[in-house]
Chains A and B, each alone.
Chain A
Amino acid sequence: MQELAEISGEKINDCYQCGKCTAACPVNPFMDILPHQVLRLLQLGQVEQVLQSKTIWVCATCFTCAGRCPRDVDLSVVMEALRAILLRQRGGSRLKGEDMPCLIRKGMPEQGIVSGFRKYTK
């Protein structure tokens, strides 16, 4: 929990479960735990359940939840922090640039390259 708070800098307890994040989420049909549930489980300290969910990998980091949240909780940052926790636990990446020629090409935004590496490292 503490690691999560440190990485994300978000105040999980500010969430009052209005569900606006879920309502706004464009990819919620593909999630096993809905965005507002992620925050609820975190409030209850059930980090493991969240870490094992599909949801955190389904999240497209589109920031819609963050933009709509009436409580200033940036769920997309929390999601990213959760992914970071898992990745750090797994240790260094074996993925090399040559493995993903489709990503390393002109015109691809840097942000896209980074998130592509992150996703495929899983």
Chain B
Amino acid sequence: MRRIGVFICWCGTNIAATVDIETVIKEAREMPGVVYAGDNKYMCSETGQTQIKGTIVQQKLDRVVIASCSPRMHELTFRKTAAAAGLNPYLVEIANVREHCSWVHKDKDAATVKAVALIRTAVAKAALDTGLEPQEFVVTRRALVIGGGIAGIQAALDIAEAGYAVDLVERTPSIGGRMAQLDKTFPTLDCSACILTPKMVDAAAHPNINLLTYSEVEEVEGYVGNFEVTIRQKARSVDAAKCTGCGLCFEKCPSKVKSEFDEGLALRKAIYVPFPQAVPNIPVIDRDHCRWFSKKKCGVCKKVCPASAVDFEQSDVLIKQKYGAIVVATGFDLIGFEIFGEFGYGKHPDIITSMEFERLVNASGPGGGKLLKPSNQQPPKNVVFVHCVGSRDKSRGKPYCSKICCMYTAKHAVLLKEKHPEAQAYVFYIDVRTAGKDFEEFHRRAVEEYAAVYLRGLVGKVFPSGDKLLVNGVDTLSNQAVEIEADLVVLAAALTPRHDAEGLARMLGIGSDAHNFFVEAHPKLRPVESHTAGLFLAGTCQGPRDIPETVAQAGAAAAKAIALLNKETLLSDPCVSAVDESLCTGCLACLKVCPYKAISDKPLTEKVHGRQRRRLVAEVNKALCQGCGACSAACRPGAMNLLGFSNEQLLAEVDAICL
């Protein structure tokens, strides 16, 4: 006979106000196998835990049921408590009588009946619990950072500084990301490149950092401590070891393509470095646009290269590497404008995105930072900025606030006036959100010192008219429709995750929200961890944020990764599948449903009626198994069972809950 102890928590009044504790204790004492039932105001407190430990010893309890808050909250706490009293921690069950009962029901009688049922269920499950021992496995002390923007660079630097090897994977030919495209940063107006490039150089020079630019993650397998990642290093067509970065090749290259880095406002060559400060400063041949690759003609770059570094024969390299931790920092894209026809984006060159404005105003950008109209290279006079293009728009865009647009638009208004003192900025806004250090002051400066006219309302339509743009808007504070003859219209587009973030989330096995932003494990208390152990999040791939927040988050993600890599071994969750070989028929239906390739077939030789017989049975790799239980449900003869959630336990739970 079992000796089960039931501990009922009041949780102050959280549980006790809706559930009649006395009745519950009385009922619990009658349940099969229960030898003790007691209560405490706060079971998770020091006194509560002492009570549990003491009772386990005194009453010689062999199973423990705690009726309290959700197991997602305190299961670990109580398992540790039991372990401290010498009980195997997997002999503890939680009845969730707070989140699933007292908090959602108002009728005290009904809630009490339900609480009793939930405890009865937990008792039935506990009776069938078996002690489980976690396995130890070795941690690969190497980290992978996906994305070479400021978030990725910062995370890589922090992990490298702690003494661990880091591979920094970046899709484009250079690290730097979005921040490299920006001109100045709000609210201090320090130059983005000036603060970023030293970090890029540091990352490249760090002995612990291995830069993998022009590379993409192709496959991720394994689990925390032992991820196995395949990275495709795309063919650069330039031998990195030989290239000196002299730049002769792209001077002579005859093919011109729109520059991604300059947001399509300028042209680059088919062999190119994306921007002058690129790290590494090694060109890449864009094979789709290179004459050699399309027509087998030209080859000028190869001829002029003094180091003979150009190599048309180079092919993609697949790198397989093991990592203990992964930081995901893939950044953002801007929302597509096709659906916002009223702004006329794409129909007139002087209607631009805020990112294009950054390039126009940037000294390294097209036009050398003179900020001229793309249509005729004349200085703009009236410039209209529009907030919330696609943000806070639940019908056509994204319902969320993109967070940084208010501030960068204020910055744009300031930069405009700095470049062209005679120009006038008009800013259409719904709300100005300046929650941040020195943000409000900066916004006020844009209005007071730089005389930006803020109009509370949005823009309904932009009409090209001659070489001007007619902007129809509204000022809801004076209740007037406003018409402005503008030279340049700048649209503050909503931030979205990278267009292929969904695929990456699936590959990594991390959650993403309705907009494909990666989801943190807890919105308050675990903001840089994903739901999957060993995978951490940094930067705008998780939600819109500015540079300092991104850097802080990258540091936090790095700290979490370092804490993980610092461990020599990890303990695996022992709630994994196990095969009863005597029942297994070798049909291997389990193998087909296993998402982790944790099941394989194994030949078994046994003696039946004095004769040797060979047959196949399923075998579970305990390190790979994550304990989902898909195999147990798929198993026809019932040979596969999930420890901790066994068939017998779940059936007992069903029986008890239906009583």
Report A-B touching, CB under 8 Å.
Answer: yes
**A residues touching B (Cβ–Cβ < 8 Å)?**
16-25, 28-29, 34, 36-37, 64, 68-72
**B residues touching A (Cβ–Cβ < 8 Å)?**
342, 388, 392-397, 430, 456-461, 472-476, 479, 481-482
Q: Are the C-beta atoms of B476 and A22 separated by less than 8 Å? A: yes
Q: State the CA gap A25–B457 with chains docked (Å).
A: 13
Q: Kindly provide the distance from the CB of A21 to the nearest chain B CB, expressed in whole angstroms.
A: 8
Kindly identify which residue among A19, A25, A71 contacts B394, using a CB–CB cutoff of 8 Å: A71
Q: Are the C-beta atoms of A70 and B460 separated by less than 8 Å? A: no
Question: Which of B396, B474, B482 has the largest count of A CB atoms less than 10 A from its CB?
Answer: B474
Cβ–Cβ < 8 Å partners of A23 in chain B: 457-461, 472-474, 481-482
Could you list 9 examples of A-B contacts with CB < 8 Å?
A17-B430, A20-B459, A23-B460, A23-B472, A23-B481, A25-B460, A34-B479, A70-B392, A70-B395
What residue of chain B has the Cβ atom nearest to residue A14's Cβ?
A: B394
What residue of chain B has the Cβ atom nearest to residue A17's Cβ?
A: B476
Q: Are the C-beta atoms of A37 and B461 separated by less than 8 Å? A: no
Given contacts A18-B430, A23-B474, A70-B388, 5 further A-B contacts (CB under 8 A): A16-B430, A20-B460, A23-B482, A68-B342, A72-B394
Q: Which 7 A-B pairs have the closest CB atoms?
A: A23-B460, A24-B460, A19-B457, A70-B393, A19-B474, A20-B458, A22-B474
Q: State the CA gap A25–B475 with chains docked (Å).
A: 13
Cβ–Cβ < 8 Å partners of A36 in chain B: 457, 474, 476
Cβ–Cβ < 8 Å partners of A64 in chain B: 460
Q: A70-B394, A70-B396, A71-B394 are in contact. Are A37 and B460 (CB under 8 A)?
A: no
Q: A24-B342, A36-B474 are in contact. Are A29 and B457 (CB under 8 A)?
A: no
What residue of chain A has the Cβ atom nearest to residue B472's Cβ?
A: A23
How many residue pairs between the two chains, A and B, have CB atoms under 8 Å in the bound complex? 72
What residue of chain A has the Cβ atom nearest to residue B387's Cβ?
A: A18
Q: Are the C-beta atoms of A22 and B460 separated by less than 8 Å? A: yes
Cβ–Cβ < 8 Å partners of B395 in chain A: 69-72
Cβ–Cβ < 8 Å partners of A34 in chain B: 474, 476, 479, 481
Q: State the CA gap A16–B461 with chains docked (Å).
A: 19
What residue of chain B has the Cβ atom nearest to residue A74's Cβ?
A: B395
Cβ–Cβ < 8 Å partners of A71 in chain B: 393-395
Cβ–Cβ < 8 Å partners of A69 in chain B: 395
Q: A70-B394, A70-B395, A72-B395 are in contact. Are A24 and B472 (CB under 8 A)?
A: yes
Q: A34-B479, A36-B474 are in contact. Are A24 and B394 (CB under 8 A)?
A: no
Cβ–Cβ < 8 Å partners of A37 in chain B: 476, 479
Question: Which of B393, B458, B472, B482 has the largest count of A CB atoms less than 10 A from its CB?
Answer: B458
Cβ–Cβ < 8 Å partners of B482 in chain A: 23
